[in-house]
Chain A
Amino acid sequence: MERRGLDFVALNQGNAQLTGLYRSHIGDWPKFFKMDTLSKAGFVASELLLKKTGEHRLEGEEYTHSRAIVLFGSTASLCADRNYQETIQDRDNYYPSPALFVYTLPNIVTGEIAIRNHWRGETSFYVLEAPDAAQMAFHLACTFDDPETESILAGWVDSRNNDDYQVFMTLIDREDAADTEWLAGQLDLIINNLNK
């Protein structure tokens, strides 16, 4: 029997406006407005994916550590780095901001998603040269080496400047990752949607 393909959400600055998507589809998480572009992109894509797959987020005192978040990217926090650098570049205009500095780490987006959904599983951010399906499939499969990890919110997220981003998010379970070639094929199909 043919296995069903992975559900995914792919967005970029050409086809989606993050604040608009937040207002029309999410709306109950004001922390969104504090986030940098990388985190906004990752957050919105994760929310849209979870709505699409019909998964309810854990709330109140309910937490899980069986769901990991593993994201990849090539720019990492470069956009936030540039924003922060501007605040320290000039001696006469020197005003280093903790609110900007905290986003100069790419794994912050994994933390934002973990907080929103009450997931206490693994969170990882890997920097690659480009979205490479085989390389990503290999490292995602490795993540299941942790016996507690049952599924992964996986994706790619990049942002070169405040008005530019590329993101996809998908959900992978143990069975999906057991066949690494199949997983790589699925990721390849999704990657082809990144620039559409």
Chain B
Amino acid sequence: MARVIRCIADNVVSPLGTTSRSNYDSVKAGRSGLALYESMGNISTPFVLSRMDRVVIDGLCAELGIQGNYTFFEKFLLCSSVQAVRDAGIDASSDRVLFIISTTKGNVSLLGQPQEGVEQERVLLARAAREVMRFFGNPGKPIVVCNACISGVCAQIEAMRALRSGRYDYAVVIGADEQSPFIISGFLSFKAISDEPCRPFDKDRKGLNLGECAATVVLEASDDKKCGWELVCGAIRNDANHISGPSRTGEGSYLALMEVLKQCNRDKLAFVNVHGTATAYNDEMESIALYRAGLIDVPVTGLKGYYGHTMGAAGIMESILSMYAVRDNTVLATRGFAVQGTTWPVSVSNGLRECRGSEFIKLLSGFGGSNAALLYRYSE
């Protein structure tokens, strides 16, 4: 019998809280981490960002016993994963525990600003991952999923597969990104960043906001069907269309959705948590993919209005908040949305909605033509 993959612990560290629960409560209450910045480094264009307070991270490190010459990115990963591993009650130093890190840019800020006591080599993603695994005493070889904005969903899919193979019993899947001038200037150069809080799926949407977050899920493989959250399946598909723009027909997202729908009980599907970056192209593309997949009437919700686009963390944090929302019979409000602004009118709202159901789909898309979806199911 195929092994069942369950999520046994989770954590979110963000400007909205340092636990999953506090993050969920903040979002449900309508709080957002987005704020206007006039400049940063050599950037002199105003932009809206959800930025993690460095003092909070240093305080959390002291509280959790995270000491050493770490970069902000490494501390961020550790602050989230140390809490999740503790809550899971597993021995992370075992070779039966797989670590998978999800990030787009890791320690790239070291290129512009070297840090005393930190080797420049830590700009290499697997070297940064090695630092995290060393903290836990894990003897495995580092692996970092670097698939642009869909990395957090891909990392969970890869963890699920590795657990199914029987080689591992647990997987610690950690995602984070630091929003340094590197990333912000790049998205500004693409004219993709809004100077106001983003408005996903709205007719006047002006672009995305970036954000900082670290999130962790601990997955367990078991041979018997226990209760709780099961990671049922996931799929990754490419548009084969353009490296920096989505397909007009939503091809990759549509194909990824169709694959996970094969195992979905449609009458139990509570909602689809979408990417919803609030760029003109992304939200339009997602509406087309949802329509083509027959999901136009299923409630849709996006969290970028609270967190911005948190890149390597997005797929993990947005999955965790979706788990809390399903258990709370709630479709979270899509903050920033007001008036339908996509060709196909997806079921989106800026208010809290009640829902019934025990499954949700998490959907993401990103540069490189990449798209990914996964399906989680809760059972009593």
In the complex formed, the residue of A with least CB distance to B254 is A120
Given contacts A102-B367, A107-B370, contact A124 B147 (CB under 8 A): yes
- The reply to whether B243 and A127 contact each other, CB–CB distance below 8 Å, is no
Contact residues in B for A105 (Cβ distance below 8 Å):
104, 146, 148, 367-368
- Chain A residues within CB distance 8 Å of chain B: 63, 65, 69, 74-78, 81-82, 84-85, 88-91, 94, 96-98, 101-102, 104-108, 110-112, 114-115, 117-129, 132, 135, 138-139, 141-143, 145-146, 148
Contact B144 A97 (CB under 8 A): no
Question: Which residues of A are found within 8 Å of B69, using beta-carbon distances?
Answer: none
Is the C-beta of B186 less than 8 angstroms from some C-beta in chain A? yes
Q: How far is the CB of B255 from chain A (nearest CB, A)?
A: 6
Q: A114–B251 Cα gap in the complex (Å)?
A: 13
Which residue on A lies nearest to B125, using beta carbons?
A: A127
Which B residues are in CB contact (< 8 Å) with A143? 161
- What are the 4 A-B residue pairs with the smallest beta carbon separation, nearest first? A111-B368, A101-B186, A142-B161, A127-B144
B239 to A132, Cβ gap below 8 A?
Answer: no
- From 98 to 139 in chain B, residues with beta carbon under 8 angstroms from any chain A beta carbon are 104-105, 108, 111-112, 123-127, 129-130
Most buried by B among A89, A90, A125: A125
Query: When the two chains form their complex, are residues B42 and A122 in contact, meaning their CB atoms are under 8 A apart?
Result: no
Residues on the A chain within 8 Å of B111, using CB: 81-82, 85
**Complex-state Cα separation, A135 to B244, whole angstroms:** 30
Q: Are B240 and A85 in contact (CB under 8 A)?
A: no
Partner pick for B105 among A104, A112, A135, CB 8 A cutoff: A104
0/1 interface trace, chain B 148-192, chain A, CB 8 Å (1 if under): 100000100010111011010000000000000110011011100
Inter-chain CA distance A105–B33, complex, in Å, is 26
Q: How far is the CA of A55 from the CA of B91 in the complex (A)?
A: 47
Neighbour of B158 across the interface among A74, A76, A127, A139, CB < 8 A: A139
**Given known A107-B367, A124-B154, A128-B143, contact A146–B189 (CB-CB < 8 A):** no
Known: A101-B190, A124-B147, A127-B144. 5 other contacts (CB 8 A): A74-B126, A115-B369, A122-B235, A125-B147, A139-B143
A114 to chain B, nearest CB (A): 4
CB-based contact A128/B142 at 8 Å? yes
Contact A90 B42 (CB under 8 A): yes
A75 and B124 contacting across the interface, CB-CB below 8 Å: yes
Given A81-B111, A138-B162, A129:B189 Cβ within 8 A: no
A78 touches B123 (CB 8 A): yes
Residue of B nearest to A144 (CB): B161
